[in-house]
Amino acid sequence: MTASVYIRPVARLPDAAPPAPAAALALAGRKDLLFAAAELIVRTGGRVERRVVSAGELLQGAAGADAARILQRLQEPRPALAGLALDRPRIMGIVNVTPDSFSDGGRYLTADAAIAHALELEAEGADILDIGGESTRPGSEPIDIEAECRRVLPVIEGLAGRVRVPVSIDTRNGEVMRRAVEAGARIINDVSALGHDPMALAVAAASGLPVILMHAQGDPKTMQHNPTYEDVVLDVFDALGARVAACERAGIPRQRLIVDPGIGFGKTLAHNLALLGSLTIFQGLGCAVLLGASRKSFIGKLTGAQAGDRLPGSLAAALIGVAQGVQILRVHDVAATRQALAVWEGACGRGTGP
């Protein structure tokens, strides 16, 4: 039986510490994200073995060829995406042009309202604007492609050439992707990892654009009906790895891909927390990593807070992510996230002030 190997960097070295030892893992080529050790995980069938090893042991090749390949992907610098360097965390601002999104459904349903909100998010410091016209919250129903296009295309067209930051189209439908790219979208964000629509892979490949592959177990309508995993972190890693491989076969190079573990999409509270605590493992896929935890229901389950009152929990999740190398944060509250990042980067010796 074939064994699968995984590496989860742990024991992050403080930035204020003396010069780091040569034997340290630098996540995605970043010298401010050094790790002294890693959890080496081997899964053979239903058996999982875990042990913590020093970075030195791993770098000396003690864990074998499979681990060496993952180590290379863990440490390779991530190339720029849509003109954005990924040497620091980037903020993706959410613009839901929907009547029924879980947090802000109906607030930006008209094109004018959505464009105004997007411009406000850019002014607050968003690096990317993510435009979506179909709610994929738990229990949501799919909508007609023409209806989705009527919602998002005027917004993308209204922003193209007017904003300095790239616009992303949040859709799982290939025809919507195609038209959005023609309208000026520069990133494709698919909650089904290009698996919902048979034409999506070809459209994404032909676009030449970066693509965000999000993990979801099941369809939005039923995904929260008793989601189960053998090991949620390893299962999500394997599922995303399979989608990355499918993209490569379709002509989309790994360098153009971003992976998202899909917090809240077919996961229980325990599943979400396990993923949030193990985000470094996804750097082993050799792609940029996106975290979308903003205002999600797991925060409410932990605290009792309703969606509009989950900013403190959202900021905590964001900082947990950036401390583990997450390159993109998808958020509703751009200004607050930017402020939290400024404090985090300042404490890490990266901030320079306004």
Q: What gap in Å lies between CA 225 and CA 266, rounded to an integer?
A: 8
**Closest to 168 (Cα-Cα) out of 209, 137, 205:** 209
DSSP SS3 for 39: strand
CA–CA gap between residue 270 and residue 267 (Å, rounded): 8
What token pair was written down for 288?
């940029």
Burial of 147 (C-beta count, 10 Å sphere; 0-12/13-18/19+): exposed
Q: Do 286 and 76 form a contact (C-beta atoms < 8 A)?
A: yes
Residues labelled as active-site residues: 296, 330
- What radius of gyration do the chain's Cα atoms show? 20
Q: Can you tell me the distance from the alpha carbon of 38 to that of 25, in angstroms, rounded to the nearest whole number? A: 9
From CA 104, how far away is CA 250, in angstroms rounded?
A: 35
283 in Cβ contact with 74 (< 8 Å): yes
Helices (H) and strands (E) in the chain, counts: 11, 12
Q: Where are the beta strands (DSSP E) in the chain?
A: 3-12, 25-26, 34-44, 47-54, 90-96, 128-132, 167-170, 187-190, 211-214, 257-260, 288-291, 328-331
Q: Is 153 exposed, middle or buried (0-12, 13-18, 19+ CB in 10 A)?
A: buried
